[in-house]
Amino acid sequence: MGGGGAPYPCETRVDEHVRQKMASLPIPDDLVADIFLRLPTPADLIRAAVGCISFYNIITNRSFLRRFRKLHNPPLLGFLDNHRVFHPASPPHPSAPAASAVAVAADFSFSFLPGASHDWAIQDIRDGRVLLNKIHEAGIGQKGRIFEEMVVCDPLHRRYLLLPPIPEDLVNPVEDPHFTEEAYYLYQIFLLPPCDNDGEATAVEETSFRVVLMAWCETTMVAFVFSSSTRQWRAIPSLGWDTLVANLPLRGYCLFAARQYAHGCFYWMLHLCKKILVLDTRKIEFYIANPPPQAISFSFLDIAIVEAGEGRVGMFVPGVGRNGLEFYTIWRNNGGTYMQWKLEKTISVHFLHYSAGSNGKHLFIYDVESPSLGYGCFSLDFKTFQLKRVCSSKTWIPNPLAYSNFPPSILASPTIASGKLS
């Protein structure tokens, strides 16, 4: 090019040739896969898969699908109540089409489980898996009642794993649980989230899970954890209440109600002693923490603990007269046994509500006050504080638990290693 003017004709031809050559170079499959991993939703990935055969081959590769499922939480599809009724997300919720497909494909009556399906009671739901235990007629105070049959199943793929009994050498040293009329709340069985792994997810990791059983005894709280990888139970170090919470009343209170999860920890509000019981799932250790003063006077059903971003934990506390929720953030020091709270934001929710769980982005709220408008479950976005209806019901929904999973598609994968194992 001379004098800052137009390019010489030969330079134009060379540039055009380079552009054509660059355009004809194929993009390596591993780079295309990295691009597809950044698609925000499963629906976007499925649309990309039908674009061309090469895209389909990349996306349907099992290794790629494991990586995608590891990076993206499965979408919320609806709520399952303790009567085994699935309440799918309804329009205009973005998960409505997938939820309709799951409602048809999954067996939420659990007819594939051994024995009579009505003998099994839903205890917890996580990552497409449902934890149930078998109800037996037993006298109050019988130790065997809390060490009964348990099963983890995948209702979408109709697979299940019967958990082995807790070994006698672990059970025998345990004193009889301190049962009262609220015995249901004095022991809990629940699923733990998967272990953190910075590497690529494997097929074994995708189908592995852990289960915790906790029981409240008169002088001690005991807990056991089961790993599907080892097929074994082990005891979690017991906690003596005299060393953790002095003079804690035991009778007549729902001590294990309203379990909440955020950033690798489960939380229980122990209001009678104005404390929070915390289970760190990474260390499998318990400790006691302090709630903000504003939360002490409220019921455990009113308070929700959530993930507030950047590793922080947040707490929603109802305002005076239930006209709003106060949002707190929290940070920790030296292992997390001390919590300092700061008021972040106040929002208004103009109906009676209870927490129905949460995921990494949303708090799930159950409306129980407006039957004329229809009972329903809502999601509250942590960042925008926007409230969206997930599903509606003409009748009361008993104990709704959020069900999240990848819908029947190329993304769907069994969450249990193989069926009918015992």
For 1-33, the DSSP string reads --TT-SPPHHHHHHHHHHHHHHHHSPPPHHHHH
- CA distances from residue 337 to 303, 306, 343 in whole angstroms, order as listed: 20, 18, 20
Which of 50-54, 115-119, 266-270, 362-366 reaches the highest mean pLDDT?
50-54
What confidence tier does 298 reach under pLDDT thresholds 50, 70, 90? low
What is the identity of the amino acid at 415? T
Cα 341 to its chain centre, rounded Å, is 24
- The residues facing 339 across adjacent strands are 332
Residue 299 — very low, low, confident or very high, per pLDDT cuts 50/70/90?
A: low
- Relative orientation angle of helices 29-37 and 62-71, to the nearest 10 degrees: 30
Q: Can you give the pLDDT at residue 130?
A: 95
- Run of H or E including 334: none
What's the Cα-to-Cα distance from 360 to each of 36, 289, 363, rounded to whole Å? 22, 22, 8
Its pTM stands at 0.81
Indicate whether 90 pLDDT > 90.
yes
Residue 18 has pLDDT above 70, yes or no: no
pLDDT at res. 109: 94
Q: What is the pLDDT of residues 153-200, one digit of tens each?
A: 999 999 999 999 888 888 776 665 544 434 444 678 999 987 655 445
Separation between Cα atoms, residue 263 and residue 329, nearest integer Å: 13
Q: Going from the N-terminus, what domains does the chain have, and what CATH number goes with each? A: 34-72 (no CATH), 73-138+145-404 (2.120.10)
Report pLDDT for 371.
52
Looking at residue 398, what is its pLDDT?
Answer: 81
Q: Tell me which residue has tokens 């030969």.
A: 10
Tell me: pLDDT of 419 over 60: no
Alpha-carbon distance of 79 to 60, in angstroms, equals 29
